[in-house]
Amino acid sequence: MTKRVTLRVIGLVQGVGYRLMSQKEAQRRQLSGKVRNRDNGSVEIIAEGDEAELKGFIQWCYTGVGPAQVHKIEEEWAEATGGFVDFVIES
């Protein structure tokens, strides 16, 4: 089933390659969406795709990347809108 999840990744996640690695992992899982830094120091991810792949992606997000330290991830689930073609890094 195709779903949409919005994630707010909280911790040391900016300036450590988190967006790029998130993009690569999402593309590996054939997810579409976007990732961007937020002014409050968190990273926001909106991803759409197979529910099982999304759940696996969320688990990956907790592990972080290199020096990244994920303290918390807030999840908001919804039905997919189909508004994304690829998974992109947004400035």
The catalytic residue positions are 19, 37
Task: Quote the DSSP letter at residue 81.
Answer: -
Residue with tokens 């807030």: 74
Helix axis angle for 18-28 and 51-63, nearest 10°, is 150
Q: Which of 18, 60, 67, 25 has its CA nearest to residue 43?
A: 18
Distance CA 27, CA 81 (A): 18
